[in-house]
Amino acid sequence: MNKTLIAAAVAGIVLLASNAQAQTVPEGYQLQQVLMMSRHNLRAPLANNGSVLEQSTPNKWPEWDVPGGQLTTKGGVLEVYMGHYMREWLAEQGMVKSGECPPPYTVYAYANSLQRTVATAQFFITGAFPGCDIPVHHQEKMGTMDPTFNPVITDDSAAFSEQAVAAMEKELSKLQLTDSYQLLEKIVNYKDSPACKEKQQCSLVDGKNTFSAKYQQEPGVSGPLKVGNSLVDAFTLQYYEGFPMDQVAWGEIKSDQQWKVLSKLKNGYQDSLFTSPEVARNVAKPLVSYIDKALVTDRTSAPKITVLVGHDSNIASLLTALDFK
């Protein structure tokens, strides 16, 4: 008797049925349904006048060819490659036929209603199913967060807010970030920044992080962790976009070890805000519910292939909420 195997793909795109794992599939099982959860591809930094980036350094930031926060041309190209790769994998698994468009309604693409997520989904579909009429579904009003992908606090009680803040503070306490802050201060010349000269905020090492967990808002933090995440995120995007190395962090990052030290700030930001079990299960609830319907409760009527495109925060909270190991 043919048995059913359902694969849920979560993170960058991480497939449950990778080549190594596929070898462990019990004999007689046949893959029948796939769900992929991806973040958007390369975007421009969120750098505008008066932003954290502008306030944190006296240096001039390099210009991008798209507005802040939007998918870049290279990001679109990379997503086409990703789509092509996934098409080959799906064909190997017998989910689609090579050289043919999938039957209507067997592929469903759903993205958060921001430019970078919708465009990522469109480029993915172009790479995976070129010439096929497969729409990307999203909220009609662009530029606003779709509730399914919006990682906001859904419990309005004061008790939960206190619990969530305590959980985020606990995650932060696990991190050793002094070296990261010191290196970052040097790279951006923080003591000559507008933040220091105008607001007397002159030290990331000595700054205080303040967490918040307000109803219908994303988990938040103010202080050096937020500043550090914004700056390292911008440097990382410059690097992956292919900026000349003398423009990536103004040429001040000169070794892999420095990248490793700096990356602790970006990773620590995501981990602190979105990976504690208390917070993750709450903010990921709408997305978990959607996935549950697609793969469990409404499985018989769901598409064979579902493509979801959201954000880092979705993936970070989802991995914890689903207890991925």
| Structural domains in the chain, sorted by start | 3-39+71-149+284-321 (3.40.50.1240), 158-280 (3.40.50.1240)
Residue 40 is among the residues annotated as catalytic for this protein: yes
Strand-by-strand arrangement of the 305-310 sheet? 3-10, 29-39, 305-310, 107-111, 136-137
CA separation for the pair 65, 90 (Å, rounded): 34
How far lies 74's CA from each of 48, 63, 116, in Å?
Answer: 21, 15, 12
Helices 256-274 & 224-241 angle (0-180, nearest 10): 130
Note the helical H segments in 93-157.
115-128
- pLDDT category at 13 given cuts 50, 70, 90 is very low
Spatial distance between the Cα atoms of 213 and 162, rounded to a whole number of angstroms: 8
Predicted TM-score (pTM) above 0.85:
yes
Q: pLDDT tens across 224-237, in order? A: 999 999 999 999 99
Rounded to an integer, what distance in angstroms lies between the CA atom of residue 95 and that of residue 7?
Answer: 11
Residue 281, classified by CB atoms within 10 Å of its CB into exposed (0-12), middle (13-18) or buried (19+), is middle
What would the mean pLDDT of 309-320 be, rounded to a whole number? 97
> Given this model, what pLDDT does residue 57 score?
96
Q: Which of 40, 146, 233, 271 is catalytic?
A: 40
Is 133 tagged catalytic?
Answer: no
The confidence band for 299, taking pLDDT boundaries of 50, 70 and 90, is confident
**N-to-C CA span, the chain:** 31
Q: What are phi and psi of 51, to 5 degrees?
A: -75, 175
Average pLDDT of the residues of the chain: 92
H runs (alpha helix) in 145-223: 158-173, 178-188, 194-199
Read off φ and ψ for residue 32, nearest 5 degrees.
-120, -20
Output the pLDDT for position 50.
Answer: 59
Gap between the Cα atoms of 294 and 297, Å rounded: 7
Pick from 14-18, 19-23, 65-69, 209-213: least confident? 14-18
How do residues 248-296 score in pLDDT, each as one tens digit? 999 999 999 999 999 999 999 999 999 999 999 999 999 999 999 999 9
pLDDT for position 89: 96
Q: Which of 179, 311, 312, 323 is catalytic?
A: 312
Q: How far is CA 227 from CA 196, 221, 224, in A?
A: 13, 10, 5
Quote the CA–CA distance of 302 and 242 in Å, as a whole number. 40
Confidence of residue 147 (pLDDT cuts 50, 70, 90): very high
How far apart CA 107 and CA 96 sit, in angstroms, is 10
* Under 8 Å between Cβ of 83 and 128: yes
Sign of CA dihedral 124, 126, 127, 129: positive
